[in-house]
Amino acid sequence: MTEHEKMQKGLLYLAFDDSLLADRQSAKELLFHFNSLRPSQKQERNALLQKLFGRAGNDIWVESPFQCDYGYNIHVGNNFYANHNCIILDGAKVTIGDNVLLGPNVGLYTAGHPLNVEQRIKGYEYAYPITIGNNVWIGAGVSILPGVTVGDNSVIGAGSVVTKDLAANVVAVGNPCKAIREIPKPRIP
């Protein structure tokens, strides 16, 4: 089994494998170009995101600077906005639904390192998928850790560290992040 296959299956893998290094280098080249474009170059910016991401929906905007590891594991729905300094470590799949807003300095981190010191020294890591539902708002400076799912319509307060799944229709805050209340369904007049 290749290191890439191990990474995709959530197994320990060697992050500095030549093939994975080449994939990350390819993404960094695209990101360098993306982050150098003028904001007015919307078509060029979106074309690069379409090339970088595994899936990029309609009406997406990612502010510069933006960083990721591979790009091809990022799947973004329609009407997506990521503010400045977004980082997505996408060793595993990152699925982002429709109508999602990310504040500045948001980090989505699928990658982690083993507790075993010998494994860490040898360069092993793991990656677990992150899923963000539809209509989610993630505040400034939020960190979402490996394996987390955020339910539809939820709001995560600024500075939170999300270590466990969050249900749909909740406001969640803190470190570790916890749901503090439900969001009522809107009343349609």
Quote the pTM value: 0.95
Per-residue pLDDT of 14-32, as tens digits, reads: 999 999 999 999 999 999 9
Residues 39 and 171: their CA atoms lie apart, in Å, by 32
Asked whether residue 134 is domain-assigned, the answer is yes
Asked whether residue 188 is domain-assigned, the answer is no
Asked whether residue 7 is domain-assigned, the answer is yes
Asked whether residue 187 is domain-assigned, the answer is no
Question: Average pLDDT, stretch 79-106?
Answer: 98
Band of residue 83 on the pLDDT scale cut at 50, 70, 90: very high
Give percent helix, percent strand, percent coil of the chain, each to the nearest 5. Answer: 20, 30, 45
Q: Which residues contact 68 (CB under 8 A, 6 or more apart)?
A: 27, 31, 52, 74, 87, 88, 89, 90
What secondary structure letter does DSSP report for 31? H
Band of residue 187 on the pLDDT scale cut at 50, 70, 90: confident
* Cα atoms found within 13 Å of the Cα of residue 160, Cβ hemisphere only: 24
Q: Is residue 49 left, alpha or beta, with left meaning phi > 0 and alpha meaning psi from -120 to 50?
A: alpha
pLDDT at 173: 98
Asked whether residue 171 is domain-assigned, the answer is yes
Per-residue pLDDT of 156-178, as tens digits, reads: 999 999 999 999 999 999 999 99
Asked whether residue 128 is domain-assigned, the answer is yes
pLDDT(33) > 80: yes
Residues 172 and 158: their CA atoms lie apart, in Å, by 10
pLDDT at 136: 98
pLDDT at 110: 98
Question: Average pLDDT, stretch 57-64?
Answer: 96
pLDDT(183) > 90: yes
Q: Is 113 a catalytic residue?
A: yes
Count the neighbouring beta carbons within 10 Å of the beta carbon of residue 51.
13
Q: Degrees (nearest 5) of the Cα angle 159, 148, 17?
A: 100
Handedness of CA 82, 69, 175, 185 (dihedral sign): positive
CB 179 within 8 A of CB 171: yes
Inter-helix orientation angle 42-52/18-36, to 10°: 170
pLDDT at 76: 98
CATH assignment at residue 176: 2.160.10.10
Number of domains in the chain: 1
Closest CA to 97 of 27, 47, 159, 168: 168
pLDDT(188) > 90: no
Q: What is the domain extent for residue 22?
A: 3-180
pLDDT at 185: 78
Asked whether residue 189 is domain-assigned, the answer is no
